[in-house]
């Protein structure tokens, strides 16, 4: 059965471009409920830990540098089929390939500076939600 939460980050490019409001608005309009949210600034160590799964990839060091370069907004989103539906809403990782109307098509600058993160599986959604939020910081229902 598909899970009902996903973890998003509004990345440093989108925060710097003043897109927090428009992005959250589209997330709400698509039927997601924000059940936890915080603005924070990841240290390089924390960004590296979040993206540890990509450690061997050639883009890892640049990704960690970018994700620790400015503020981010992290949030847990609740909806039936959250992971899959959110990935549809944000569009392809590379904004050049993202469908019209998707969040990345509208707000992302490049493959690296791609405005938002979305979990890629239910297991990772839970791991990533735990990375940012304790149970006491979640307000479901
Ligand atoms: P995200 O969904 O947050 O997960 C991993 C991130 O790595 C991805 O978004 C991109 O921002 C970034 N990235 C940078 N270069 C690449 C690449 N060549 N392929 C995939 N992801 C990349």
78-94 pLDDT per residue, tens: 999 999 999 999 999 99
Cα dist. 41→102, 112, 140 in Å? 25, 17, 25
Per-residue confidence (pLDDT) for residue 31, from 0 to 100: 98
Best substitution site from 47, 111, 117 to test ligand 1's pocket, by max atoms within 8 Å of Cβ?
111
Beta carbons within 8 Å of 97's beta carbon, 6+ residues apart: 91
Report H helices in the chain. 12-16, 20-29, 44-50, 60-67, 82-90, 103-107, 122-132
Distance from the alpha carbon of residue 95 to the mean position of ligand 1, in angstroms? 11
* Closest among 64, 66, 36 to 49, alpha carbons compared: 64
The SS3 call for residue 15 is: helix
Ligand 1 contact, 114 CB (< 6 A): yes
Q: Is the pLDDT of residue 1 over 80?
A: no
DSSP state of 54: G
Ligand 1 contact, 63 CB (< 6 A): yes
Ligand 1 contact, 131 CB (< 6 A): no
Share of the chain above pLDDT 90, in %: 96
Q: Is 41 a catalytic residue?
A: no
In whole angstroms, what is the distance from residue 106 CA to residue 19 CA?
Answer: 10
Can you name the CATH fold of 5-42+71-137? Alpha-Beta Plaits (3.30.70)
């Amino acid at each position: 059965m598909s899970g009902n939460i996903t973890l998003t980050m509004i990345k440093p490019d989108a925060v710097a471009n003043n897109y927090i409001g428009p992005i959250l608005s589209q997330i709400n309009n698509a039927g997601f409920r924000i059940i936890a949210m915080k603005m924070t600034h990841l240290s390089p160590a924390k960004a590296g830990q979040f993206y540890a799964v990509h450690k061997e990839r050639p883009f890892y060091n640049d990704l960690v540098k970018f994700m620790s370069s400015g503020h981010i907004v992290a949030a847990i989103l609740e909806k039936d089929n959250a992971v899959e539906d959110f990935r549809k809403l944000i569009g392809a990782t590379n904004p050049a390939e993202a469908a019209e109307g998707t969040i990345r098509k509208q707000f992302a600058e490049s493959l690296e500076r791609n405005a938002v993160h979305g979990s890629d599986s239910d297991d990772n959604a839970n791991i990533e939600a735990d990375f940012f939020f304790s149970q006491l910081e979640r307000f479901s229902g």
